[in-house]
């Protein structure tokens, strides 16, 4: 049997690159679609925009499956930009699969689609709720997930959704890089002493779970899964581990959670009128994430996907420290 052709959208990102590389190493023919070349050896690059239906159709043509990771991921910005990429882009992927007669879609979403500002303690994947999800990213990803899952079983489409939670690893400039930079400059607050219990996911674990969903899609289509390491730790412990790996001082700034959430609301209003060159230092959603528990029951995920994470949090921090030794933090 010939090797499958699998399209990975968003392969220029850390997680998308890990998925594409792992699929390539398994012998699949891997095609990557994003705005700029992913540059992964042995992976075919197709450049284009999710918002251009013809470009998406060109990328999908001939693919047996799509792993859809590309999205607008941020904590601020106009909602119409999120809608165009996250919702309309997902619709374009679905239409492209329909146009070629069907296929499999692993839709990569986020647990934030079901986060309503309250603590999540030991729950499974709750329904995506675009009406009550917090922030434009979460709302549009929730709508995109509902759109994708509604297509399952129609037009010869099989669809499943995975929601990796707080993915991190070596070379991560978006999350780990920002945390380390702000801690080094003394600008990283611990809300409510950093005692909220949270789950995170090491990048290779997240990639392998996504591929497990692809492998098992005939059995698990129509289902959504939260993916984590299954090792809840406090925000303080998570941040300390990353800072220790980078060789920078641990965060010492303490702020009450209520103050952080209020400050986030104020900063969001300022950024709407006078946006900075970077993301805002705090938003209400970010303050909620840093001061509210969010950890998940992984029993159904592991049973249905026949997957368990291989890299523990401590091992991940060791890999992170090794990376920082080769790429030291400089002023």
Dump the DSSP string for 129-169: -TTT-SHHHHHHHHHHHHHHHHTTTSTTEEEEEEEE-SEE-
To the query of whether residue 137 is one of the catalytic residues in this protein, the response is yes
Nearest in space to 107 (alpha carbons), one of 88, 93, 123, 126: 93
Structural domain includes residue 16: yes
Give the pLDDT confidence score for residue 253 in this predicted structure. Answer: 82
Higher pLDDT, 271 or 246: 246
Asked if the structure places residue 150 within a domain, the reply is yes
Residue 159 maps to which CATH number? 3.40.50.720
Q: What is the mean pLDDT of residues 242-247?
A: 95
74: containing domain: 5-167+200-230
Does residue 216 lie in a domain region? yes
The 10 Å CB-count burial string (b at 16+, else e) for 180-207 is bebbbeeebbbbbebebbbbbbbbbbbb
Selected catalytic residue, list 82, 137, 202, 214? 137
Structural domain contains residue 235:
no
**Residue position matching structure tokens 């909620």:** 288
Residue 151's pLDDT band (cuts 50, 70, 90): very high
221 φ, ψ (degrees, to nearest 5): -60, 145
Would 19 be classed as within a structural domain? yes
pLDDT of 117 reads 75
Tell me the percentage of the chain whose pLDDT exceeds 90: 68
Q: Assess contact for 264 and 283: CB atoms under 8 A.
A: yes
| pLDDT for residue 301 | 98
Task: Say whether pLDDT at 262 is over 70.
Answer: no
Domains: count for the chain? 1
* pLDDT number for residue 75: 58
What pLDDT was estimated at residue 283? 61
pLDDT digits (tens, 9 = 90+) for 90-108: 999 999 999 999 999 999 9
The mean predicted confidence, pLDDT, of the chain is: 90
- d(CA 126, CA 124) in angstroms, rounded, equals 6
What predicted TM-score, i.e. pTM, was given to this entire model? Answer: 0.92
């Amino acid at each position: 049997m010939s090797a499958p052709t699998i399209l990975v959208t968003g392969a220029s990102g850390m997680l998308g690159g890990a998925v594409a590389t792992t699929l390539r190493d398994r012998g699949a023919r891997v095609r990557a679609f994003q705005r700029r070349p992913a540059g992964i050896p042995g992976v075919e690059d197709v450049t284009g925009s999710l918002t251009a239906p013809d470009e998406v159709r060109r990328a999908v043509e001939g693919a047996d499956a799509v792993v859809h990771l590309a999205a607008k991921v941020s904590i601020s910005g106009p909602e119409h930009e999120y809608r165009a990429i996250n919702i309309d882009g997902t619709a374009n992927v679905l239409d492209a699969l329909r146009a070629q007669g069907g296929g499999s879609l692993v839709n990569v979403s986020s647990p934030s689609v079901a986060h309503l500002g309250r603590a999540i303690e030991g729950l499974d994947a709750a329904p995506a709720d675009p009406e009550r999800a917090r922030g434009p990213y979460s709302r549009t990803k929730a709508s995109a997930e509902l759109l994708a899952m509604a297509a399952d079983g129609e037009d010869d489409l099989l669809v499943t959704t995975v929601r990796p939670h707080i993915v991190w690893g070596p070379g991560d400039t978006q999350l780990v890089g920002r945390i380390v930079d702000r801690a080094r400059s003394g600008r990283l607050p611990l809300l409510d002493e950093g005692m909220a219990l949270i789950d995170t996911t090491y990048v290779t674990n997240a990639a392998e779970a996504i591929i497990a969903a692809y492998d098992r899609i005939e059995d698990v289509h129509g289902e959504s899964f939260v993916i984590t390491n299954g090792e809840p730790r406090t925000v303080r412990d998570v941040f300390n581990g990353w800072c220790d790996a980078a060789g920078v001082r641990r965060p010492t700034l303490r702020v009450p959670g209520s103050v952080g959430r209020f400050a986030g609301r104020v900063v969001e209003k300022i950024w709407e009128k006078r946006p900075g060159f970077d993301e805002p230092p705090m938003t209400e959603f970010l303050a909620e994430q840093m001061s509210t528990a969010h950890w998940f029951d992984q029993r159904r995920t592991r049973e249905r996907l026949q997957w368990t994470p291989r890299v523990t949090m401590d091992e991940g921090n060791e890999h992170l420290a090794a990376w920082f030794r080769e790429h030291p933090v400089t002023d």
